[in-house]
Amino acid sequence: MSDNYKPGLEGVIAGDTAVACVDQGVLLYRGYPIEQLAEKATFEECAYLLLNDDLPNATELATFKKELDSFRALPKQVVDALRLIPNNVPMMDVLRSMVSMTGHFDPVSDPADNKRRAIWLTAQIAGIIAARYRLLNGQEPIAAIPGLSHAAQILYQAQGTEPDALSAKLLDLTLMLYAEHEFNASTFTARVICSTMSDLVSAIVGAIGALKGPLHGGANEAAMDMLKQFKSGEEAKAWIKDALANKKKVMGFGHRVYKNGDHRAQILEVELRKLAASKNQQVWMDIYDAIKEPMVNEKHIFPNVDYPCGLTYYLLGLPLDLYTPLFVAARITGWSAHFIEQAANNRIYRPLSKYVGPALRSVTPISVRA
């Protein structure tokens, strides 16, 4: 048994999947490279792809988007429950509770129709995030506008105005890049819950709990929190020099899967620079580059997707507490795809453990215990 022991299951193949893989450093969604999807597709097309076997044609996409729109309205009871949550509760805790709550109002009558249930949850999660954002800002939740893209819908329902094309495109891109990433901790959590023959809502709630942890989700928030402490590229240069000399943690860099750079970060960074230029915020790119360049050139540690994503969300006017929930808004599609796949060819997960406690010993009566 000791020869097979892998702490954290690192390097262990825990199951088959046709949903996604990282092949020689390239992320594929059902065989399609993420670079091509980012260039030629939308989040809705990626969501359809993950939940089905291939990309949709125009008719299939229109039907999918119409179904998403039909599920956007939150149950009144969910909105009422949102009002009762204290303002200081982190958004990931709110989302965990409210996804469980909305599960009581599941409109999909067929218990086995998890593809349709996944579409419903995708719409509901976006609505919960937007409604919570507005309530925190003293504003009432607003109804969706049918026909907007999923990304534009999130921005509209949160901020109250239809976003410009570049902002909608940037959020759409981040949703695509975050939608799926094979057997990560939260996806594995969803599959383990599914393997017990539990339901999709329970699996998604469990996955949200796993993503909440700072070693999995939250890195985009942490990366932006790091960048926010600087007012100029020069300040950032001084800090990173000290950080590297004293071996401080630099958020948003390194990835267990991508040893030579996360190409999702490269894709997003190109568009981030356009966003910063459009908003006359070059100072943020100066700070961004001041941290990135010595990390890459001196330490050979590359940015992961969370590094540009944090700044992207910041320039879109979104508060830090929304960043990991937006990760959920994307990854719900990947989680659901894995749940459906697990359920179709199920075997309960039951790994072994390596016992390191006391050896066999006898129980003495309480009257003679020291």
pLDDT digits (tens, 9 = 90+) for 313-332: 999 999 999 999 999 999 99
Whether 306 is catalytic? yes
Whether 110 is catalytic? no
In percent, the amount of the chain with pLDDT more than 70 equals: 99
Which pLDDT does position 171 carry in this prediction?
97
The verdict on 136 and 227 lying in the same domain is no
The mean predicted confidence, pLDDT, of the chain is 95
Which pLDDT does position 3 carry in this prediction?
63
Say yes or no to pLDDT of 263 above 70. yes
Q: How would residue 5 be classed by pLDDT, with cut points 50, 70 and 90?
A: confident
Which pLDDT does position 255 carry in this prediction?
78
Determine which one of 150, 255, 263, 338 is catalytic.
255
- pTM given for the model: 0.94
Determine which one of 216, 225, 289, 321 is catalytic.
216
The verdict on 189 and 262 lying in the same domain is no
User: Phi/psi of residue 356, each to 5°?
Assistant: -130, 20
Determine which one of 150, 172, 306, 338 is catalytic.
306
Say yes or no to pLDDT of 2 above 60. no
How far is 156 from 158, CA to CA, in rounded Å?
5
Report the CATH number at residue 299: 1.10.230.10
Report the CATH number at residue 70: 1.10.580.10
Q: In what order do the strands lie in the sheet with 26-29?
A: 20-23, 26-29, 32-33
Place of tokens 């943690």: 249
Whether 251 maps to a domain, the answer reads yes
Which pLDDT does position 216 carry in this prediction?
85
Whether 6 maps to a domain, the answer reads no
Q: How would residue 232 be classed by pLDDT, with cut points 50, 70 and 90?
A: very high
The verdict on 168 and 264 lying in the same domain is no
What integer is the mean pLDDT of 140-158?
97
- Report the 10 Å Cβ neighbour count for 25: 12
Into how many domains does the chain fold? Answer: 2
Residues contacting residue 39 through CB under 8 Å, at least 6 positions apart: none
Say yes or no to pLDDT of 1 above 60. no
Place of tokens 């193949």: 13
The verdict on 96 and 137 lying in the same domain is yes
Say yes or no to pLDDT of 259 above 80. no
Whether 181 is catalytic? no
